[in-house]
Structure 1
Amino acid sequence: MSRSDFISARERMLVRIAQTRDASTAGLPHWARTVDGKWTFTSDGDWTGGAFVGQLWLAHLADPLRFPISDAKAALARMLPRAERRTAFKGFGFYHGAALGSILFGEETARDAAFTAARSLEQMFDPKLGLIPLGQDAEEASAVGIAESSIDSLQATGLLYWAADQLGDSHMEEVANTHMRRVLELHVRPDNSVIQSSTLDPQTGKVLRTHTHKGYSDVSTWGRAQGWAMLYTAHAAMVRPKQPLWRQYAVRVLDWWIHHVPADLVAYWDFDDPAIPTTSRDTAATAIAAAASLRLASALGPGDGAKYQAFAERTVAQLACGYLTPIGPGDRRPLGMLTGGCFTRKADARDIDTAPDAELIFGSYFLFESLVILTGLVPTGRI
């Protein structure tokens, strides 16, 4: 795709963002039906709502008249009750939904909300486990609490690193580093694939079992497990260039993805589902991979990073051409939907997370973020 094609895809997504904003009068979008684009909303955003707030910050950058900054601030206000809940996953929402507003526009309300969430995450750190556990309010169907961990909990690190920089807080920095190191040690396998979850002994931190909340099986590689590992190691490599460990991990898990993703670059929901190639794809995991690749390209620089820059561009092109509506003539669905997202196919997931073929708001966020970067609205490495 050319730059003009990326711009065209970005503009399609802006149409969808405006439609979603106009429909989101009380809650925040979670997932939408592929057939007609109708959203399922949550009152406070659940773990995903910050992705939509993040879209609104970026949309203001792209078209400030159509997307006044008050849109993002109003959506962020709906998330604020989550800032001190005991869940490691709030790092995702308050980085993209709040810290982003401070980074791009110096918004004080957004900065304060992000600080509140970051301090709460810092206080959740358990030295016996060497990490921030999922927490009693974590958004999973089961197996959450004081001694449960998952690769998803790396979502805390982007927010912690940003807040540590802003506050000059060395303890918060150490919490982020220790948490990240421990979670990666627990969940990145020797072959560089990723297992989603683990149960620990609350007194010793010893691993009692590894498993998956959302993948095919306890020994499979769920697409988004690999995706979160790629995203947050690459983000850490970008914001902490003097720490080679994060670059090493990012290269390992991203290279695994590159070597195992299908030829069309759009991942299946789980790399080990025996029903491949007739099972669900997951465009959300694929969009995360693109965003991770752009971060790693920035961290490595124009030489070593060229491989990952090119992979990100090819991945975004595949999503834009094959899954971003309209996909072909006569497609009457809302413009700019990223179709083909799979929350999970597991029957024991939360009812709100069982969509196997949908637009997932976080997948749409990461595709839009990638397009914003590829079209030059945000410099590589800034967010």
Structure 2
Amino acid sequence: MSTSNFSSARQRMLDRIAQTRDAVTVGLPHWAGTEDGKWISTPDGDWTGGAFVGELWLAHLADPRRFPISDAHAALARMLPRAQRRTAFKGFGFYHGAALGSILFGDETARDAALTAARSLEEMFDPQLGLIPLGQDAEEASAVGTAESSIDSLQATGLLYWAADQLSDSHMEEVANAHMRRVLEIHVRPDDSVIQSSTLDPQTARVLRTHTHKGYSDVSTWGRAQAWAMLYTAHAAMVRPEEPLWREYAVRVLNWWIDHVPAALIAYWDFDDPAIPTSNRDTAATAIAAAASLRLASALGPSGGAKYRDFAERTVTQLVSGYLTPVGPDDQRPPGMLTGGCFTRKAVARDIDTAHDAELIFGSYYLFESLVILTGLVSAGRI
């Protein structure tokens, strides 16, 4: 797909962001129905809402008159209660929803919110376990023990690395490194696929069991588990180039994805679902994969990263051409929706996470972020 086509897709997504901003004035968007584009929202953003705030920061970069910075401030204010919640997942929301505003615009309101969340994550670190447990406020479909972990908890690391740089805080750096290393040791399997979740012994830190909480089975490879591993190892490789271990992990888990994703490049919700090829795809996991590939391409440089830049471009092309709603009278849906997102098909999911074919706000964020990078508005190395 040409740069002009990526620019056209970016414009469609800007239209959707504007429509979402005007429609969701209380709470933050979570997912939208494919048929009508109407959002299911959450009061404080749940774990996903920071993605929409991140879209607003990037939209301000793309079109500051249409998207004044006050849009991002208003949305960020709705998620501030989450800053002190005991959940490793807030790293996702406060990186994209707050740190991004500081990175791109030097915004002090955003910086303060991001640092508050980062300090709280640092305090959650359990030295005995060697990681940040999911936490009592983590959004999971069943009770979370004091020593539960998951690959998803790597969402803490991007925010911690940023905050460590902002504060010149060596302890925060150590926490980020220890958490990253331990979570990867537990959840990346010898064949480079990823198991989502784990239960640890709180006294000995021994891994009692691993399982896939939101995937097809306890031993399957849930698409988004692999995608999170890809994103956060690639991000760490980009922001911590002096640590070769993060690059090694990123290459391993990304290569696994490239070798196992279907020829059309849109992943199924779980790589091991026996209903494939009639099972659900997951465009959200696929968009995360594209964003991860752009980060790894940045980390490896023009020569070593060319493979991953090309893969990201081809993946984004497939998402845009097959799943991004068009502009025109023949389609009554809002333009710029990334359809085909699958939260999970597990029966134990929370009611608000039962969508099988929807626009997921975090999937839309990562596609929009990828388009912003591919159209040259910002480099992957900055965000």
SS in 2 for 1:275: coil
The CA RMSD measured in Å over matched residues stands at 0.9
Whole-Å separation in 2 of the counterparts to 1:192 and 1:309: 21
Q: Which residue of 2 aligns with 1:345?
A: 345
Would you say 1:244 and 2:244 are equivalent positions?
yes
Aligned to 1:45: 45
Structure 1: distance between partners of 2:233 and 2:331: 38
- Report if the CA contact (8 A) 1:326-1:332 is conserved: no
2:271 equivalent in structure 1: 271
Structure-1 separation of matches of 2:78 and 2:144: 24
CA distances 1:72-101 after superposition (whole Å, capped 9, x unpaired): 000000000000000000000000000000
1:50-73 CA-to-partner distances (Å, cap 9, x unmatched) read 000000000000001110000000
User: Could you tell me how far 1:372 is from its partner in structure 2?
Assistant: 0.2
One-letter code aligned to 2:20 = T
After superposition, the C-alpha distances for 1:217-263 in whole angstroms (9 at most, x for unaligned) are 00000000000000000000000000000000000000000000000
Asked if structure 2 preserves the Cα contact closer than 8 Å seen for 1:27 and 1:42, the reply is: yes
Is the Cα contact below 8 Å between 1:138 and 1:145 reproduced in 2? no
Answer whether contact 1:192 1:256 (CA < 8 A) is retained.
yes
* Separation of aligned partners in 1, 2:294 and 2:142: 33
In structure 1, what is the Cα distance between the partners aligned to 2:31 and 2:135?
Answer: 24
CA contact (8 A) 1:321 1:327 kept: no
User: What letter matches 1:9 in structure 2?
Assistant: A
- Tell me how far apart the structure 2 counterparts of residues 338 and 143 of structure 1 sit (CA, whole Å): 31
Q: What's 2:11 paired with?
A: 11
Distance in 1, Cα, partners of 2:309 & 2:186: 29
Instruction: Provide the rounded CA distance (Å) in 2 between the counterparts of 1:305 and 1:280.
Output: 30
Structure 1 moving runs of 4+ over 4 Å = none
* CA distance, structure 1, for counterparts of residue 273 and residue 227 of structure 2: 17
What are the within-5 Å matches in structure 2 for residues 1-383 of structure 1? Answer: 1-326=1-326, 330-383=330-383
Are the equivalent residues in 2 in contact too, given 1:30–1:49 (CA < 8 A)? yes
Distance 2:165 2:369 in 1: 22
Distance 2:377 2:145 in 1: 40
- Alignment length (residue pairs): 383
Q: State how far apart, in whole Å, the 2-side matches of 1:136 and 1:231 are.
A: 25
Letter in 2 for 1:188: V
Consecutive unaligned residues in structure 1, runs of 5 or more: none
Query: Could you say what secondary structure the match of 2:210 adopts?
Result: strand
SS in structure 2 of the partner of residue 83 of structure 1:
helix
Is the Cα–Cα contact under 8 Å of residues 327 and 335 in structure 2 kept in the other structure?
no
| Residues in 1 aligned to 2:120 and 2:310: alpha-carbon distance in whole angstroms | 38
Retained in 2: the 8 A contact 1:201–1:208? yes
Measured at CA, do residues 329 and 221 of structure 1 come closer, stay the same or move farther in structure 2, by a change above 3 Å? farther
Distance 1:301 1:342 in 2: 33
**Cα distance, 1:146 vs structure 2:** 1.5
TM-score for the superposition, normalised by structure 1: 0.99
- Aligned partners of 1:282 and 1:359: how far apart in 2? 10
Give the Cα separation in 1 of the matches to 2:20 and 2:361.
Answer: 10
Preserved contact between residue 213 and residue 349 of structure 1 (Cα < 8 Å): no
Q: Secondary structure at the match of 1:381?
A: helix
Contact (CA 8 Å) 1:293, 1:311: kept in 2 or not? yes
Alignment partners' CA distance in 1, 2:3 and 2:262: 25
5+ long unaligned stretches in structure 2: none
- On the 8 A contact 2:238/2:299 being kept in 1, the answer is yes
Q: Which residue identity lines up with residue 93 of structure 1 in the other structure?
A: G
Superposition deviation, residue 144 in structure 1: 1.6
Contact 2:283 2:339 in 1 (8 A): yes
1:84 and 1:353 map into 2 onto residues whose CA distance is 23
Please give the alpha-carbon distance, in whole angstroms, between the structure 1 residues aligned to 2:13 and 2:247.
Answer: 31
Look up the SS of the partner of 2:58 in the other structure. helix
Q: CA deviation at 1:145?
A: 3.4
2:87 and 2:373 map into 1 onto residues whose CA distance is 30
Pick closer, same or farther for the CA change 1:321–1:171 going to 2, 3 Å.
Answer: same
The separation in 1 between residues aligned to 2:356 and 2:341, in whole angstroms, is: 7
Distance (whole Å) between structure 1 residues aligned to residue 50 and residue 56 of structure 2: 10
Q: Which moved more, 1:323-332 or 1:128-137?
A: 323-332
Structure 1 CA distance for aligned equivalents of residues 107 and 326 of structure 2: 35
For 1:209 and 1:49, the matched residues in 2 are separated by 31
The alignment partner of 2:117 has SS state of: helix
CA distance in 1, matches of 2:328, 2:377: 28
Deviation string for 1:261-291 (max 9, x for gaps)? 0000000000000000000000000000000
Query: Is the 1:151–1:197 contact (alpha carbons within 8 Å) kept by the matching residues of 2?
Result: yes
